[in-house]
Structure 1
Amino acid sequence: MLAGIGARTAVPHGQQQVDDEPLEEGQSGDFNLNLNLQKGGAQSYQSYVGALNKQAEEIQVRKAIAMARALAPQQIQTLISSGQAAEALQVLKGTLMLHPKSGVAWYLAAEAEDASGNESAAGLALSKANQYAPGLPFADPRKAAALREHIGTAGCCAGQ
């Protein structure tokens, strides 16, 4: 057995159990993972890490959806204009999961991506916004034109 590394299992309440002996089958807990590193444990460990990453991603999605429900478009706009584009994008991720055809959400995503310096993603988001809300009737025409010009998509939504 590798020095200091024995069988591991996640136990309730997020605590980690490390023993020098393999765990017995059927031990209880929120989930049971026997990582006897002598018998192919590296693959089990990779599965375990993958499961944890997936769980963390699901938690982030749930948080994004909860935040999306809590913030109005004007509040998201305030996040963007106050230099918190990453936070705005996190909220918009949830909003777009709930409302994938929202021209407003896509437009805000374009603004947030632009503020983050990601002009390519901003251009794609602006195209989606125009697809779902032709002419972007909710946007200030001068701001929309400036955004298009800045991200180099002047032809994408011309005439709006």
Structure 2
Amino acid sequence: MRIKLASTAMAAVCGSLALGLTAPALAAAPAVTAASELPGRVAAAHAPSALAETLSVGHRIIREARSSAPDAAQLTALRQQLETSAGHLLEASAAAPDPLEELRQALDKVLKDVSKIIDEVVKRDAAGTTAAANTFTTDLKGVTAKVPTAQKGAGPLQVPVPL
């Protein structure tokens, strides 16, 4: 398939127009470089992504635990990732301190569940691993209920686009 000069020129013009329309809006948007500048807004913006990260790692743990040959080393690495993402979730939820202790307890329970899964995998107890994975699944669903509701629906920071 040959690319003609006219289609290349049209693509360049469209790209230039798009850049011309969006560049002033991006330049005018205030840059947030540190969480200390706008702690409430930054935390609200990162809470959904931190929750999504935590749930994603949790689902990978469940998938590994329910596999035909779960790997304890892989589960240990995923547990460390879960600890990191749980820390990010707690930081992002710090703007609403009331349910923060409940969230911390729910995350601690989930981390203990992962330790139980790893112990069952090391023992090579398939029934125990499945039971521990089911408990982990239930407790992971409970974490989403503990995230402050004001932050669940918060999306990323919006960039104004001129019309």
Q: Identify whether the pair has TM-score above 0.5, normalized to the shorter chain.
A: no
Structure with bigger RCO (C-alpha 8 Å, 6+ apart): 2
Relative to its length, the structure with more strand (as a share) is 1
Normalised to the residue count of structure 1, the TM-score between the two structures is 0.28
Q: Which has the larger radius of gyration?
A: 1
Normalised to the residue count of structure 2, the TM-score between the two structures is 0.28
Relative to its length, the structure with more helix (as a share) is 2
